Amino acid sequence: MQDETEESNIYIEWLEKSIENDYTNCFKYSDFKIIDLIGGGSFGSVHRANWKNSDTIVALKSVNNYPLSLKEVVNEIKQHRKADIHQNILRFYGITREFDTIYQINKYFLVLEYADSGTLDTYLKDHFDELNWNDKYQLAFQLASAVECIHNLDIIHRDLHADNVLIHQKNIKLADFGLSIAITKESSNTPLFGSLPYIDPKSFNNKDNDNQSYILNEKSDVYSIGVLMWQISSGYRPFYNEEYGVSLCLAIQNGKREKIIDDTPKEYSSLYTGCWKYEEYERPNMKEVVLSLKSLIFPEEHNIKKSNSSAIKDQTDTILSEKSEETDNLLNDLCLENISNLSELIDENKYESNLSSQNQITTQLNVICPASDTDTSCKIKKLDDKIFLDQPEHNIREHLPKSKIIGLLILLFSIIIIISIYITENLEEIIILYKKLLNFIPAFVQFYFVVLYLYRRDAIDEKKEFQIIKKLAEKEVLYAQGLLGYYYSNGIGTEVNKSKAYELYKVAASKGDNYAQYVLSSLYELGEGVAKDEKKAFEIIKDLAEKENINAQFKLGYYYDAGIGTDVNRDKAFELYKKVAEQGHNEAQYNLGICYEFGIGVEKDEKKAFEIIKQLAQESDLDAQFKLAYYYSVGSGTKINKEKAFNLYRIIAEQDHNGAQYNLGICYEFGIGVDKAEKKAFEIISLLAKGGYLDAQSKLGYYYEKGIGTDVNEVEAFELYKVATEKGHNEAQYNLGKCYRNGIGIDKDDIKAFENIEISAKNGYVNAQFELGYYYDFGIGTDVNKEEAFGHNEAQYNLGKCYRNGIGIDKDDIKAFENIEISAKNGYVNAQFELGYYYDFGIGTDVNKEEAFGLYMVAARQGHIDAQYNKSICYELGEGVDKDERKAFKLIKELAEKEHIDAQFKLGYYYDAGIGTDVNRDKAFELYKIAARKGHNEAQYNLGMCYKLGIGVNKDEKKSFEIIKQLAEKDDLDAQFKLAYYYSVGSGTKINKEKAFNLYRIIAEQDHNGAQYNLGICYELGIGVDKDEKKAFEIISHLAKRGYLDAQSKLGHYYEKGIGTEINKAKAVELYEIVAEKGNEMHDII
């Protein structure tokens, strides 16, 4: 049997090998500066430290060199490596070690993410009064989501309690999974009952004999989550006023639980009480917990779909149906990941973050600062999306002879030439010496030894260099003429003379100098030394590209892309970029990535773009590294990882990349991937502004105006805006106009304000455009001009839509409402309709049906068709106006006669249900048929139902099956559900219970209540799957908790008959009474 030392050595050896094999990052202990002690226990201690005297704060967790401690450390590292994909799991950066001179051993420390608000227990004590129910839901959701993640990775935490859940920047950070419980067993210093209320009570019966022990499992974690959800709802530790001992242990085992806190939403309390049930099979799994919490945060919006409900039409011309419109969860920022190696940073196999978020950022240069007093955020922007090549590269490989024999001869002559150059001091002597050979040696070699000579002459001056090249050009040495053109073009050893450069390039090009031909096309393109002639430039570059010149092929792609000397042809541009990229051309690879990002000449594929740019970044291409950082910052083609973005910007910034330095400043300003540090942001932007970087000058003006990282200095702000404006910076000009308008750093001057805002608006700055509309509307610095004001109202309306849909900016319903409201008040009809819709559904404001109806009326009077449609729905339902079905019918009929597809569908429904008219199933069928032919999914569904039930047409179940199957293939959820039902009962097709089961299973995963219910029935009766009553009970129980009426009725039946659970007549009666009160409507139940 191994002794403790031998066992410890095994784990120490593993740690050392993991470092040696780069499995685990190892940091120098001396790079950390201990700040203070933040925790401790039997495992050792936890200190807060900073890394390399930077703003990067980490937690250093020391580990005792006991075998069990080391074993669990090894296990924890392995599990962290697996679970390092979720934003709510504490990040593991690596380890560090300090040599203990007393015991002559290495002492190991885990380097972990630092959580600035301590444990969940501490956070709730300090901040509970600040939390609303949405905040509590978010904490519970984040915690459950993290545990679901580790369960999906086959990791069981086993020790979830309020001291193993940390808070960083108001977000959950799950810690210590698989470690703390083992350490507790090892040490008598940790109280045995310290986490008692959180532990699965089924484990309280464990005996010393392992064969009789209850093994903690995933449902044990679910139990703990239930208790933690209660703690989040109350702010207290469970049973905080009782002693954690044997008595409490027995009470919990016998069913004692904490009382539900008053005013706790029923859905939330039902969920956590379900989690802490004694029998594990009665508890939901973590996926179900996450889905339930998600439904609380993002409740379904029930509008209309089929003939038993009604629809309000959105501006996007889509019917809002019973299908839920889920809002993406806005995930929270992580702390800085300490990565010093760029290749590791780019290698996602080492650092992967499961972040998701919006990926829409404004497409202008680099980063934009807040554009008005109401702006509160600033986002990292893309690299300039224009695809270009400024500096063509001369590819010397193009001119090498292809014959191996000639190649060997040239190599021999080259060696002779090089030796001669180092012996001979006079270039003329070399030319005379090899005059006879020059007729044999290719022209490239002639030029090659001239260049060698110039490089050998380390003391040569530019004028002498110019004279040598000029002399060679006069002797018509090939490539010397092209080189002389370069000297004239750039003023090397002579004055700049673009005309002479052009003439020399032209001569050299006519003699077959490919490089000269390439440059000649650029001269025609830019009009340097010759009249601008883009068509001529295109012809020359096309001719060179046909000779398989790689740079010319790339340039030709750019010409097609930008429409230079030819019509724009994005398909050809893409094909050329692709061809050249395959030959290793960096600029082509970059542009190919941009093509995939924006769908230029190819179907948009952000993942493909990310892969291409990442590969190029690994080759140390600076622009690709900058673009990659942007991709990480917004989640384009990958998961959002703001830490990777920050670290890439930091690394690139060290290479004097202005854009990266600018974005690094923005990261510090807003705490993107790093702790917020406004002074650091000010220092970076200030330094960059002094270097003349335009965006930085504008941003620095904003910092002085708002006092970000420095004292407010309005005069300095004004001067910086003025400097940037003179250099053509649109945003700075907009801010300059605001300064004149509000008297910031200068006397108030409305005329100058108008002039600057007008110029900025004409240059495309969207905030200036709607500001200009305001100026025209109220005559600020100009005459009142309502027509001009109206045009700019449209810009403000579009800005509101951008905020609503997250286009180019973070989604913000409140700002969307504010902008739409202003545009509507200024008389823009689309905005009036949109504002009605916002009031109708409470988007960015409270629901106000009367206000919604009034706005629909106003827009409808001006001929807005969708407003007329929604107005009719208001009359149908009596929302915001007295119910009047006849008026609704009349309005819908008028719209249907104008070929309005949604009105045709709705009119069919009115005839079908007899709303505002007599029932006429024949007319209903014909209208559904018309709308279905035009691609209206809801009409197609109802048409299928008509054939199924014989409504307005002869009953034809096969026809119904075909229609529903076709619609299901378009991913229509309700059609998929109906198709499953058809397979289950053999309606219009043969019975296929396996297909039915699989369809229900797939649809159930999308939170479809009916599918989840039928899935439970399949398990209960063994339809298409092995019979499993416990599984059926779990599914139906979960669905009943969510208030699904059919499931509540079925659950009562299960309790009554003991299906999947023990007989419980009292619960059965209770459930039947609930269902009886609400009324149970059964549908499509198999």
Residues 6+ away with beta carbon under 8 Å from 399? 442, 444, 514
Q: Side chain identity at 501, as an amino acid letter?
A: A
C-alpha to C-alpha distance for 747 and 493, rounded to whole angstroms: 52
Residue 50, classed as helix, strand or coil, is strand
DSSP secondary structure code for residue 367 in this structure: B
Q: Report angle CA 699, 705, 708 to the nearest 5 degrees.
A: 70
Phi-psi region of 827 (alpha: psi -120 to 50; beta: other; left: phi over 0): left
CA separation, residue 779 to residues 143, 737, 754, 776, 788 (Å)? 55, 15, 10, 5, 11
Q: Which of 518, 568, 511 is nearest to 542 (CA)?
A: 518
As separate numbers, helices (DSSP H) first and strands (DSSP E) second, the chain gives 48, 8
Task: Judge whether 366 and 381 are in contact, CB under 8 Å.
Answer: yes
Give the burial string for 41-69 (b: 16+ CB within 10 Å, else e). ebbbebbbbbbeeeebbbbbbbbbbbbbb
Tokens of 200: 């699965």
Alpha helices, H only, 332-457: 342-346, 404-423, 427-433, 435-438, 443-456
Asked whether the beta carbons of 65 and 105 are under 8 A apart, the reply is yes
The string of DSSP codes covering 454-519 is: HHH-TT--HHHHHHHHHHHHHTT-TTHHHHHHHHHHHTSSS---HHHHHHHHHHHHHTT-HHHHHH
Give the position of tokens 């019917």.
319
The DSSP element (H or E) to which 613 belongs, if any, is helix 606-617
**Parallel, antiparallel or unpaired: strands 44-51 and 32-41:** antiparallel
Q: Which one-letter amino acid corresponds to residue 900?
A: H
Tokens, residue 682: 């000010």
Contact 157, 150 (CB under 8 A): yes
CA pair distance 775, 783, nearest whole angstrom: 9
- CA dist 568 and 556 (Å) reads 11
Burial class (CB in 10 A: 0-12, 13-18, 19+), 690: exposed
Could you tell me which residues are beta bridge partners of residue 62? 109
Q: What backbone phi and psi angles, to 5 degrees, belong to 153?
A: -100, 15
Using the 8-state DSSP alphabet, how is residue 371 labeled? Answer: -
97: tokens are: 């070690």
The three state secondary structure string of 264-282 is CCHHHHHHHHHHCCCCHHH
| Entry field: residues in the chain | 1086
CB 851 within 8 A of CB 825: no
498 labelled binding-site residue: no
Helix ranges, 950-1064 (H):
957-968, 973-985, 993-1004, 1009-1021, 1029-1041, 1045-1057
- The dihedral over CA atoms of 919, 923, 927, 930, expressed in degrees to the nearest 10, equals 170
User: Which tokens belong to 738?
Assistant: 């605001």
Secondary structure E strands in 591-649: none
Strand 105-113 to 57-63 pairing: antiparallel
Candidates 715, 757, 750; CA nearest to 736 is 757
Other beta carbons within 10 Å of 656: 10
Annotated binding site for ATP: 61
Annotated binding site: 61
